[in-house]
């Protein structure tokens, strides 16, 4: 990434497999139960002084505030001008829980019973705005809404704002709370969801994705500033890229052409070569077309002896706009622990797909190095991050 180097100094996560960094890492190494990945016992009250504020905040924003609190506490006193400290949180569908509830209220009880908080709760920028207001961040404050690539794009765009000098620090990530009856029915009726409730990325018997909720948040800051203040640097954003398939509203381009170009551009942006890449956290949704297109793309970019690849969606399920941020967190934790989590739910790769070095069964020890984190969304949105160890 041309310009200033970008350090990661804080990580926060809210996910069904674990709330908090330590619990999330342990969850990535544990076989999940079948079914939707939902935070059954989520309690937002610890993150709000006033219970009314929690009720006036959609679930996806609650997740973002909680994850940001952990990430900022880990980063410590960042100590930059608030006007140069921003927030950028991606989402696929924002406050859909609030939207769905209030539509029912309007139909059954009339206009006057619709909540005056509907608009600020449902708007996709609510998570980024809530973080900025709570922590006094007066710099760039935006929401990236690019379907399942939103979290990855948000982190890449935030890093670029620092590299370009527009901001000195950013809170960045993605959050999603899509498990509403209507949203779930929509995904089910387009035959995207797994009938078995098991996510099996790149497996011959994969039957669709397992829908999930969750949020991942990173604190990014200019590298030299992080060093000067004595921060613990957890990793580096080396590069990123974004492309469009321009092919179909839901299906990926045949042969993964958009994904190929996205990975190649991200590698070039990082100033490395494909041979330098040590690991790929795949998009790996467990859907027939997406997995095949990604495997094709990886084989074409890296050849026969490509890097170790995993899909953590075998555990987390697919959190849509939050997925890329959860996977960036997984990459950084895999670097810290020297282990690549296995692709849970999959015993062997689909023989009809090109051969890739898929991590299966047990975590794999590795020497951390440049890693790609891929996200490919409806609408043909492609996003790739290149992350490096501290």
Contact 26, 18 (CB under 8 A): yes
Q: What average pLDDT score do residues 160-172 get?
A: 98
pLDDT at 2: 86
pLDDT of 130 above 90: yes
The pLDDT of residue 358 is above 90? yes
Q: What is the mean pLDDT of residues 12-37?
A: 97
Place 1 in a pLDDT band, splitting at 50, 70 and 90.
confident
Confidence of residue 304 (pLDDT cuts 50, 70, 90): confident
pLDDT score for 59 = 98
pLDDT tens digits, one per residue of 320-348:
999 999 999 999 999 999 999 999 999 99
**Backbone phi and psi for residue 169, each to the nearest 5 degrees, phi listed first:** -155, 155
pTM: 0.97
Which member of 148, 167, 215, 262 is catalytic? 148
Verify whether residue 248 is a known catalytic residue.
no
Q: Is 283 a catalytic residue?
A: yes
Catalytic residue among 153, 225, 279, 283: 283
Domains and CATH numbers, the chain: 7-389 (3.40.47.10)
- Spatial distance between the Cα atoms of 216 and 264, rounded to a whole number of angstroms: 25
Mean per-residue pLDDT, 190-216: 97
Which single residue is written with the structure tokens 């370009």? 164
3-state secondary structure of 74: helix
* Residue among 225, 279, 318, 381 flagged as catalytic: 318
User: What was the pLDDT predicted at 214?
Assistant: 98
Residue-wise pLDDT for 79-122, tens only, equals 999 999 999 999 999 999 999 999 999 999 999 999 999 999 99
Local structure of 61: helix, strand or coil? helix
Q: Report how far apart, in Å, the C-alpha atoms of 74 and of each of 54, 215, 328 are.
A: 23, 16, 16
What's the mean pLDDT in 32-39?
96
């Amino acid at each position: 990434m041309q310009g200033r180097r970008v350090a990661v100094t804080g990580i926060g996560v809210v996910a069904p497999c674990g709330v908090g960094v330590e619990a999330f890492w342990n969850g990535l190494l544990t076989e999940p139960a079948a079914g939707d990945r939902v935070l059954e016992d989520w309690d937002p009250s610890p993150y709000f002084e006033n219970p009314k504020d929690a009720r006036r905040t959609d679930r996806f924003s609650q997740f973002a505030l909680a994850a940001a609190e952990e990430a900022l506490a880990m980063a410590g006193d960042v100590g930059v001008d608030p006007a140069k400290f921003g927030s950028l949180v991606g989402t696929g569908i924002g406050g859909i829980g609030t939207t769905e509830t209030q539509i029912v209220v309007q139909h059954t009880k009339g206009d006057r019973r619709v909540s005056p908080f509907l608009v600020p709760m449902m708007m996709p920028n609510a998570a980024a705005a809530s973080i900025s207001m709570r922590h006094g961040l007066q710099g760039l404050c935006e929401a990236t809404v690019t379907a399942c690539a939103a979290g990855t794009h948000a982190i890449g765009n935030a890093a670029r704002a620092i590299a370009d000098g527009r901001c000195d620090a950013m809170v960045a990530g993605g959050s999603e709370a899509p498990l509403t009856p209507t949203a779930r029915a929509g995904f089910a009726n387009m035959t995207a969801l797994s009938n078995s409730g098991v996510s099996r990325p790149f497996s011959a018997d994969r039957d669709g994705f397992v829908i999930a909720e969750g949020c991942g948040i990173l604190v990014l800051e200019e590298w030299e500033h992080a060093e000067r203040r004595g921060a613990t640097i957890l990793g580096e954003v080396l590069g990123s890229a974004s492309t469009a398939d321009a092919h179909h509203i839901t299906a990926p381009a045949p042969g993964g052409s958009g994904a190929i170009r996205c990975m190649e551009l991200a590698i070039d942006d990082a100033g490395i070569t494909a041979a330098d890449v040590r690991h790929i956290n795949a998009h790996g949704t467990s859907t027939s077309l997406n997995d095949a297109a990604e495997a094709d793309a990886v084989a074409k970019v890296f050849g026969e002896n490509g890097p170790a690849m995993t899909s953590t969606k075998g555990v987390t399920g697919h959190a849509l706009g939050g997925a890329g941020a959860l996977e960036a967190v997984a990459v950084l934790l895999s670097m810290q622990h020297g282990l690549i989590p296995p692709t849970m739910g999959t015993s062997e790769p689909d023989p009809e797909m090109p051969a890739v070095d898929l991590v299966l069964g047990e975590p794999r020890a590795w020497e951390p190095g440049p890693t790609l984190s891929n996200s490919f969304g409806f609408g043909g949105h492609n996003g790739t991050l290149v992350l490096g160890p501290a």
